[in-house]
Structure 1
Amino acid sequence: MTRRPEDRAILRLAWPAFLALVAEPLFVLADAAIVGHLGTTQLAAAGVAGALMTTLVGLCIFLAYGTTSSVARQLGAGDTRGALAHGVDGLWLAVAIGIPVSAVAGVLAPDLVHLLGASQTVAAPATTYLRIALAGTTPLLLMLAATGVLRGLQDTRTPLVAAVGGNVLNIVLNLLLVYGLGPMDGLGLPGSALGSALAQLATAGLLVAVVARAARRHGVALAPDLGGVLAAGRAGVPLVVRTLTLRAAILLTVYAVAALPAADGGADRGLAAHQVAMAVWGFLAYALDAIAIAAQAITGRALGSGDIAATRRLTTRMLQWGVAAGVVTGLLLAASAPWLGHLFTSDRGVDDLLLPVLLVAALAQPLAGVVFVLDGVLIGAGDGRYLAYAGTLVLVVYAPLALLAPTLTWLWVAFGFGFMAARAGVLLHRAHGTRWMRTGTTLTR
């Protein structure tokens, strides 16, 4: 499989990206495991706050994706200095977004928690967790932007080092701050939020320093360029809409879980089981997304150099890799599902709800492989406008399936084989054509 030139190009970027992306969701998995043993209420609270934080930060994923595409196109055209100038603009845009978002979300935290239908026992700790975690918003956005720059420069090794180091620091800080050590008392649930925010700050500092050093080496100014920052913001609007539709589907799923009767997987135990399942799904999704990360960088560079034939050839090959990776992750999840719940909770009721959900998630993995790879290809091509329209259509299809699901397991069937199948359909339709293959360093949006 690795004999083809395109396989070597994919592996060179995908392998470090795979290791980094597997490490990144360990922020969530480690938090879930550490918090889960505090109690079911704390785990459910972390799940609600975590869903909101993921939404706030996820809406800004264009800072990574859009920057990867624009930097890779400049690199493909032979303009490294221009590529780094785009990257610096992305870093300043992250700061301009992160500070006001943190402030506003902190004020609205109780209302945001209430929107997800959390019970009174869960709402208060979820609000506290969210307000502390919001301190890490700007560092998280800087991490996204800096990672996007490095990926566009075809460097996935540096983000790997940062992700592994940040993850180790996150686990250490969470254990110390949640449970304490010696004479130092633990903070409980708030300690988990604080530990994650501090780890995110350290990781962001490392990545920004690497990008800044490269910019200075090529004579790129580090001061903010208002025109460049605004241009980066406008270019990211379609990807914001695309991400908003995805996050709306995730939040809709959380709402649907909370609305279920307790006997069918609703209430606090249902939210706790769903939190663990989504953490596992996110772990596998990031692993599959390694090929999509390679697709963003490779597609952007190929189109920047005007090589249409290579773009088509690489897309076909990466799609094959995506399906194969989905089969492997699905088999691994199915094999580990019977004991996986014990890592996150000692509540037998939560564990019983979790097992069938994990089996459904395992069956959906090959389909997820198709979705993530083609999503990466079209993002790398700068086809954000189509992704925004397609995401809206998929959300309309999925909403009634989620709201009408009678149990937690059937809700996950709707998610795995309704939501993901609809995404696969619109992406395959677009990839089959040629309208997304726009060459050069600029795009008509």
Structure 2
Amino acid sequence: MTQSPLEPLILRLAVPAIVSNLVTVTYNMADTWFIGRLGTSQSGAVGVAFSVMTIMQAIGFFFGQGGGNSLSRELGKRNEERASRLLSVAFFGSVGFGVLLGVLGLLVLHPLVRGLGATDTIAPYAVQYLTPLLVATPCVTGSFTMNGLLRFQGLSAYSMIGLVTGAILNIALAPALIFGAGLGIFGAGLATAICQTISFTILTVMCVKVGVVRLSPRWFQPDMLLIREMIGGGLPSLLRNGVGSVAVTCVNLAANPFGDAAIAAMAIVNRIALTANSMIVGFGQGFQPVCGYNYGAGLFARVRRGFWFGVRVETAILVCATVVFALFAPELVGLFRADPDVIRIGEVALRLQCCTLWMNGFNMMSNMSQQTMGRTLAASILGVARQGLFLVPLVWLLPAILPAFGLPALLGIQMAQPISDLLTFAITVPIQLRMLRGLKAAEGNPADTLARSVATSLSSTVRKAS
């Protein structure tokens, strides 16, 4: 982690994460396509359910990132005992909170889906879709956590195997249950629940068998210092995904007066945009363990160089995605629901998002690097900016303001996300550049020189021993 050529190292760790995310998104796309064959209301139900699924991800990422960021820094310091404690506390904490969320969700499911923006026609389908997922919540949160904990140990390939296996099974199982067994949208939720459970099992077994630090109940030893450390590392992820759920709910509620077609269109556009975002998130996930190890070892020049390498690659990916999305917007939306109203609304929303999509590479790399280095406040601000600080108020303000200028209110919902991306970029640039200047200034201090000397010596010892 501290001596290998930097760019190939990041790519080697990033490729499995990108593949995992792309396969997962492919499953989500296939699931959306299958459900789209059932009707517009069913497509809208997926958009409503996405808010709840985002909360599940938020809990999983909180423990995975909270434990994983600190774990990678501790491994960089060669402190394996504390790394083992972080791993075990993150795992058992994620599963425990998953149980609480699942029980609570099932108890309030009917009023919950109405509160998330479901119309009278969408609500019954949202309940059917979410019921099996809530039963499997501990496995859903646990799989996201274990995915992160394996990656932060530098075991991205093993993480990929667990996620890809579940996603591929889901692509096969979903149509069998939806159409073959005649279960409809309930079958889609059941397929997802089953396959998330399989992924969780595989990831847990791999962590026990091949982890750099081993998962064991005997290392479940939380103390206040460790808990504070985990909260500091995981809070940005919790906030980022939590406000993401709030943002999706607000979009659904704002689109509610325009009917099921508007809710379905925005849900479909969100899934399409996730394709590009999954690639840059995957690349950032490949950078995070490298960032953590090298920051923990005091090798700040490698952290800076890795960051700018990631920004260049991610921006190139997003530019390519922008071209494809802009050229084929109506066709892409139409793949999921051949409803003229859905296509009309979704085409405009997708093309508007293309205007600022390229900015998300710098935004994402900045947020991930700040989080991995333990800069909780900056990472939290950047984490909530895109979906919470800007999107939530914009999705309400723009539809109210635009009619005064002779523009349709629906356009305000469609353009809220790209304006949010622009504003996020505007505040991310100064925050991140300040951090990078600080790292550059620290490169020449004695502590950094000593850390590099120790890392080189350890690496040389390991090579001789092997």
The aligned amino acid for 1:432 is: L
Aligned residue number for residue 314 of structure 1: 306
The aligned amino acid for 1:45 is: A
Alpha carbons 1:242, 1:392 under 8 Å: kept: no
Q: 2 CA distance for matches of 1:8 and 1:154? A: 13
Indicate the SS of the match to 2:118. coil
The aligned amino acid for 1:421 is: L
Indicate the SS of the match to 1:227. coil
Alpha carbons 1:92, 1:229 under 8 Å: kept: no
TM superposition shift of 1:207: 0.4
Q: Which runs of structure 2 are paired with 1:75-154 in the superposition (5 Å)? A: 75-80=75-80, 82-154=82-154
Aligned residue number for residue 74 of structure 2: 74
TM superposition shift of 1:189: 0.8
In structure 2, the CA distance between the partners of 1:329 and 1:109, relative to structure 1 (3 Å rule), is same
Identity %: 22
Q: 2 CA distance for matches of 1:9 and 1:60? A: 26
Indicate the SS of the match to 2:108. helix
In structure 2, the CA distance between the partners of 1:56 and 1:123, relative to structure 1 (3 Å rule), is same
Match of 2:201 among 202, 205, 208: 205
Q: 2 CA distance for matches of 1:321 and 1:229? A: 39
Aligned residue number for residue 248 of structure 1: 243
Matched, 1:388 2:384: no
Alpha carbons 2:57, 2:241 under 8 Å: kept: no
In structure 2, the CA distance between the partners of 1:221 and 1:189, relative to structure 1 (3 Å rule), is closer
TM superposition shift of 1:192: 0.5
The aligned amino acid for 1:368 is: N
Alpha carbons 1:61, 1:240 under 8 Å: kept: no
The aligned amino acid for 2:325 is: L
In structure 2, the CA distance between the partners of 1:391 and 1:220, relative to structure 1 (3 Å rule), is closer
In structure 2, the gaps of 5 or more residues are 400-408, 452-466
The aligned amino acid for 1:326 is: L
Q: 2 CA distance for matches of 1:237 and 1:99? A: 23
Q: 2 CA distance for matches of 1:147 and 1:177? A: 27
Q: 2 CA distance for matches of 1:110 and 1:219? A: 41
Matched, 1:328 2:329: no
Number of matched pairs: 429
- Which is worse superposed, 242-251 or 402-411? 242-251
Q: Which runs of structure 2 are paired with 1:317-356 in the superposition (5 Å)? A: 317-356=309-348
- Which is worse superposed, 7-16 or 396-405? 396-405
The aligned amino acid for 1:275 is: A
Instruction: Flag the structure with larger Rg.
Output: 2
Alpha carbons 1:374, 1:431 under 8 Å: kept: yes
TM superposition shift of 1:135: 2.0
Matched, 1:400 2:393: yes
CA RMSD for the aligned pairs? 2.7
Aligned residue number for residue 18 of structure 2: 18
TM superposition shift of 1:64: 2.3
Matched, 1:196 2:196: no
Q: Which runs of structure 2 are paired with 1:360-399 in the superposition (5 Å)? A: 360-391=352-383, 395-399=388-392
Q: 2 CA distance for matches of 1:132 and 1:48? A: 15
Aligned residue number for residue 187 of structure 1: 183
Indicate the SS of the match to 2:83. helix
TM superposition shift of 1:356: 1.5
Q: 2 CA distance for matches of 1:350 and 1:393? A: 28
TM superposition shift of 1:279: 0.8
Q: 2 CA distance for matches of 1:141 and 1:270? A: 30
Indicate the SS of the match to 2:222. helix
TM superposition shift of 1:118: 1.5
TM-score under structure 2 normalisation? 0.84
In structure 2, the CA distance between the partners of 1:39 and 1:131, relative to structure 1 (3 Å rule), is same
Q: 2 CA distance for matches of 1:220 and 1:392? A: 31
- Which is worse superposed, 339-348 or 419-428? 419-428
TM superposition shift of 1:322: 2.2
Alpha carbons 1:53, 1:134 under 8 Å: kept: no
Q: 2 CA distance for matches of 1:195 and 1:49? A: 15
In structure 2, the CA distance between the partners of 1:234 and 1:80, relative to structure 1 (3 Å rule), is closer
In structure 1, the gaps of 5 or more residues are none
| Deviations, residues 168-197 of structure 1 (Å, cap 9, x unaligned) | 1111111111111xxxx3111111100100
Indicate the SS of the match to 1:411. helix
Indicate the SS of the match to 1:276. helix
In structure 2, the CA distance between the partners of 1:322 and 1:147, relative to structure 1 (3 Å rule), is same
Q: 1 CA distance for matches of 2:193 and 2:10? A: 33
Alpha carbons 1:257, 1:408 under 8 Å: kept: no
Indicate the SS of the match to 2:155. coil
TM superposition shift of 1:245: 5.2
